[in-house]
Structure 1
Amino acid sequence: MSQNQTRRDAETDLLNRSKTTPPKRYGVYLLNDDYTTMDFVVEVLTGIFMLPEERAVAVMLLVHHEGKGLCGVYTRDIADTKQQQVLQRARQEGHPLQCIVEEV
């Protein structure tokens, strides 16, 4: 085997190893309940997910009518952090609001 062939094989191996797949993405969803106020849901969406007011109202209505609404799509660590922020804030304010993370 020639030295050029060996060099090309090594370069090909290096290129193949350097190609990484993008991280999986996870959706953070709010779930509807009969007790959490719509205003509080909008506050969560604007405060934690940084949604503009109009978008937050649209997501809140989706949660209210469909039972579940997508708040945002993130990497796993960020999605888990957002979920914990929602659950902590809901507990502090006395709301039973639930938030889940699902792979999208």
Structure 2
Amino acid sequence: METNIATKQKEKIKVKKPKLYKVIMYNDDYTTMEFVIEILMVIFNKNQIEAEKIMLDVHKKGKGLAGIYSYDIAMTKVTTAMSLAKENGFPFKLTVEEA
């Protein structure tokens, strides 16, 4: 008695991790420190201490790192933050760059 045994070949699928992107905040002479801290806590999920440290980097060094995310998340956070800034009359600037 003959049996036909089929063997399956396993294909190795390589899944690339998505590239990560930095969200950079820039200092200006109009956006308040309180607003920057609020944005960092509400949109970027930072605690009070982290938010104050990043805000001070922005204030003293001219820019600060708000976080590192996948592209879509980074762009959503930037768009949301800049919309809130515009609604509040601030010229707040953020950019996204490859990490």
Q: Could you state the TM-score of these two structures normalised by the residue count of structure 1?
A: 0.84
1:19 Cα deviation from its structure 2 partner: 1.1
Moved runs in structure 1, 4+ residues, more than 6 A? none
Paired positions, count: 93
Which runs of 5 or more residues in structure 2 are unaligned?
1-6
Does 1:76 pair with 2:71? Answer: yes
Instruction: Tell me what 2:97 maps to.
Output: 102
Q: Which has the higher helix share?
A: 1
Name the counterpart of 1:42. Answer: 37
TM-score normalised by the chain length of structure 2: 0.88
- Aligned-pair distance for 1:29? 1.1
Q: Which residue number corresponds to residue 30 of structure 1? A: 25
Out of 51, 55, 76, which is 2:50 matched to? 55
Identity of aligned residues (%): 43
AA partner of residue 72 (structure 2)? D
